[in-house]
Amino acid sequence: MSNYNAFDNFLKTFNKAADCLDLNENDRVKLSMPERQVQVYITVRMDDGSYKTFEGYRVQHNSFRGPYKGGLRYHQQADINEVRALAALMSIKCAVADIPYGGGKGGIKVDPTTLSEGELERLTRAYVDAIYPVIGPSVDIPAPDVNTNGKIMGWFCDEYSKLAHGFTPAVVTGKPLLIGGSKGREEATGLGVVIAAKTMLNNYGVELKGKRVAVQGNGNVGSVASKYFCKEGAVLVAASDVSGAVFNPNGLDGELLRKMAVERVLLSEYPPSIGTTFIAGKEGNAALITCETDVLVPAALENQIDKDNASDVKAKYIVEAANGPTTAEADEILADKGVIIVPDILANCGGVVVSYFEWVQNLDRYYLSEEEINDRLKRKMTDAVQKVYNTAKQFGVSLRLGAYVNAVKEIDESGKLLGR
Between 41-45, 103-107, 270-274, the lowest mean confidence (pLDDT) is in 270-274
The one catalytic residue among 93, 105, 198, 227: 105
Asked if residue 99 and residue 205 are part of one domain, the reply reads no
The answer to whether the CB of 234 falls within 8 A of the CB of 216 is no
pLDDT digits (tens, 9 = 90+) for 6-31: 788 889 999 999 999 999 999 999 99
Strand order in the sheet with 102-109: 36-45, 51-62, 102-109, 68-75, 140-144
Pick from 296, 297, 225, 291: which is nearest to 257 by CA?
Answer: 225
**Which residue among 179, 199, 221 closes a domain?**
179
pLDDT for 1: 42
Give residue 4's pLDDT.
60
Contacts (Cβ under 8 Å, ≥6 apart) of 120: 112, 152
The enclosing domain of 290 has a CATH number of 3.40.50.720
Residue 275 covered by a domain: yes
Based on the fold, state whether residues 160 and 196 are members of the same structural domain: no
- Structure pTM? 0.92
Q: Tell me what percent of the residues of the chain surpass a pLDDT of 90.
A: 91
Together in a domain, 134 and 157: yes
The whole domain housing 227 covers 182-420
- Residue 105 is among the residues annotated as catalytic for this protein: yes
Q: Which of 159, 179, 199 finishes a domain?
A: 179
Average pLDDT, the chain: 95
Exposure string over 361-398, b if 16+ CB within 10 A, otherwise e: bbeeeebbeeeebbebbbebbbebbebbbebbeeeebb
With 80 as the cut, is the pLDDT of residue 50 above it? yes
Same domain (yes/no): 161, 203: no
State pLDDT tens for residues 331-387: 999 999 999 999 999 999 999 999 999 999 999 999 999 999 999 999 999 999 999
Quick one: 327 and 350 in the same domain?
A: yes
